[in-house]
Amino acid sequence: MSDEFENDGLDEELEIITMVDDETEEEIEFVVIDRKQMNGTEYILVVESKNVDDDEAEAAILKVVSETDDDITYSIIEDDDEFNAAAALFESDDYDVEY
């Protein structure tokens, strides 16, 4: 992994989530970089695990839409205002957020 993610002061391993593309049924692994809450909704900043070593990798912001004991369902943010507000949550000295 890149130094940017390894040396951020965390001793824990990065969380991996697997999502399934509804159209192709392809499984895609993501590394969770950060989590934030806004108005009772949890948002996560993720990078595809195959790109985590790339300092220029593009990240995505997903929101939790449902959660059970066994499963968490994430969704992309389709509303521009909600996306901009969520993206602002992730502005950090540790990584650049462009939106």
Average pLDDT over residues 5-13: 48
Tokens of 59: 């990240």
What pTM did the predictor assign?
Answer: 0.75
Q: What is the pLDDT of residue 83?
A: 93
* Per-residue pLDDT tens over the stretch 16-63: 998 888 899 999 999 998 999 999 999 999 999 888 888 778 889 999
Secondary element (H or E) of residue 53 = none
pLDDT band at 68 (very low <50, low <70, confident <90, very high): confident
Q: What is the pLDDT of residue 9?
A: 43
CA dihedral of residues 61, 22, 53, 32 (deg, nearest 10): 40
CA dihedral of residues 4, 43, 62, 65 (deg, nearest 10): 150
Q: What is the pLDDT of residue 98?
A: 63
| Burial of 43 from C-beta contacts in 10 A (0-12 / 13-18 / 19+) | buried
